Copies of this chain bind each other. A is one copy, B any other.
Amino acid sequence: MMGALLDEATEILRSRGGRMTSQRKRILESLELLGSHPSADEIFAFVSQSDPTLNLSTVYRTLRWLEQEGLISARHFHFDEDRRTDRFDAASPIDHHHFICTECKSVIEFDNRLIGEVKNQFSRQTNCWVQSVSVVLYGLCPNCQK
């Protein structure tokens, strides 16, 4: 399980004449280690600890490449503040959704097969072809409720 992202990425890289550099390796590792939808800055800060020469633009380039290859997904969660920073999700972008605690900013991932049903009903009613679904719940986690 561990290293799955790195393995996949390495393979794709190879098949395109790309190079698995130490920077990319560290960034990929950090995506698996930092569970909770880190921003580019957070990844940068984390990897910088072990490689102080890493540059932020390398982080962005790597993340965008991973995104294009479909290995990770980028999105914003829009609280009142933080409206502009992308967050990156190491998990497959397909069929998993998010709850966000607007207080402590923690993220819980979930799935529910009713969501597939919502998608199907919409398709049937409108003749739209639905490629992907994003469900985000905003609220308070048990800790932040009292």
Distance in Å: Cβ of A146 to nearest Cβ of chain B = 11
Closest partner residue, chain B, to A121 (CB atom): B112
Interface string of A112-146 (1 = CB under 8 A from B): 10110111011001111111111111111110010
A134 touches B131 (CB 8 A): no
How many residues on chain A are close to B (CB under 8 Å)? 39
A126 touches B102 (CB 8 A): no
B135 touches A129 (CB 8 A): no
- Given the known interface contacts A76-B76, A76-B78, A78-B74, the answer about A130 and B137 at a Cβ–Cβ threshold of 8 Å is yes
A34 to B100, CA, bound (A): 31
- Given the known interface contacts A78-B74, A99-B130, A108-B128, the answer about A122 and B137 at a Cβ–Cβ threshold of 8 Å is yes
B137 touches A129 (CB 8 A): no
A128 touches B142 (CB 8 A): yes
Most interface-central of A74, A99, A114, A118 (chain B CB within 10 A): A118
Point out the residues of chain B lying under 8 angstroms from A145, CB to CB. 129
B138 touches A135 (CB 8 A): no
A interface with B by C-beta (< 8 Å):
74-76, 78, 83-84, 86, 99, 101-102, 108, 110, 112, 114-115, 117-119, 121-122, 125-142, 145
